[in-house]
Amino acid sequence: MQIGWMSIDSSVVLDGLKSLIILAALLITRTLVVRWISRNQALSMESKRRWVVTTRNSIAFAFLIGLVIIWAHELQAFAVSIIALAAALVLATKELILCWSGAALRVVGKVYAVGDRIQIAGHRGVVLDHDVFATKLLEIGPGQSAHLYTGRVTVFPNSLLFTSPLIKENPGQAYGLYTLVIPIKAEEDWQRSERTLLEIAKAECAPFMEEAARQMKLLEQTNLLEAPSPEPRITIQLPEPGKMHLVLRFPAPDRGRSRIEQAILRRYLIEMTIA
């Protein structure tokens, strides 16, 4: 071990000595050249200044090249050590880097803000807080179709923004279009159920239909796309033999979706029970 350390020390000393020799030689050369330029009567003062500056810069560049040549093997070992250290640092802080990158994506892309309702990687709720590491949600549920606050708080790392798609339930507007699924049996009078559900939805949405239509028109102008009509509509799905789904699409205020949905459901159940 001592022999190895002595070998390393002697190598460093030799390289340092070479560097000093080159520095001394270049300084002497610079002094002689500058003295010759200053005594040359054939050159104007401006030419002398230009040649002096050129000489100084050339000497500095030559010294830098000499240092690189002399210390090349030491620099190579140092660079390998730096690269290994950087790789280990990246691996150790990978999650932190992803969290910081996710926070930057959220800010630059304006992905979501406090008060937005979002879904990501099975988490669903209202954004309460966010920082460079994580986002805090007030959970909404139960499940993906309910709109009640569960009282629980969910915290997820910002790195999920790179691995999971994010759904924003209220895309920055006062009114939105939502869906409600009514399952019925195939042998039931589905035409009557469809008619009853549509009439109830139109009655519940009538007070704000004009404002919802205005919001859809504004959305169309802002995003240069053909916005859907806010009028309640029903589509029929056949998930499996013997069963049907009436899928109602209806407009509702961003903060009143649950109330409108529950009103439609209750009136529908009452109408179908009376029949």
CATH number where 244 lies: 3.30.70
Q: Does 269 share its domain with 191? A: yes
Same domain, 110 and 37: no
Q: Are residues 87 and 108 in the same domain?
A: no
Retrieve residue 72's tokens.
């090349």
Kindly state whether residues 148 and 212 are assigned to the same domain: no
Sequential pLDDT tens for the chain (275 residues): 444 444 445 777 787 788 888 888 888 888 888 888 888 877 777 777 778 878 887 888 888 888 778 777 766 766 777 777 777 777 777 888 889 899 899 888 888 888 888 889 888 888 888 888 889 998 987 776 677 788 889 999 999 999 889 888 766 567 888 888 999 988 888 999 999 999 999 999 999 998 888 888 887 777 666 777 889 999 999 988 888 999 999 998 877 788 899 999 999 999 888 75
Which range marks the domain in which residue 245 is found? 175-274
Place of tokens 């802080």: 93
Q: Where is the domain boundary, 70, 92, 114?
A: 92
Asked if residue 256 and residue 181 are part of one domain, the reply reads yes
Residues 192 and 266 occupy one common structural domain: yes
27: left (phi over 0), alpha (psi -120 to 50) or beta: alpha
Side-chain half-sphere CA neighbours of 127 within 13 A: 22
How many CA atoms, within 13 angstroms, populate the side-chain half-sphere of residue 164? 15
Write down which residue in 168, 187, 207 finishes a domain. Answer: 168
Nearest partner of 250 among 239, 259, 241, 237, judged by Cα: 259
Residues 162 and 189 in one domain: no
76, 104: one domain: no
CATH of the domain at 116: 2.30.30.60
* Number of compact structural domains in the chain: 3
**What is the pLDDT, as a whole number, of residue 137?**
92
Q: Which of 126, 149, 168 is at the close of a domain?
A: 168
SS3 sequence of 134-183 = EEEEEEEECCCCCCEEEEEEEEEEHHHHHCCCEEECCCCCCEEEEEEEEE
Q: Looking at the structure, do residues 43 and 133 belong to the same domain, yes or no?
A: no
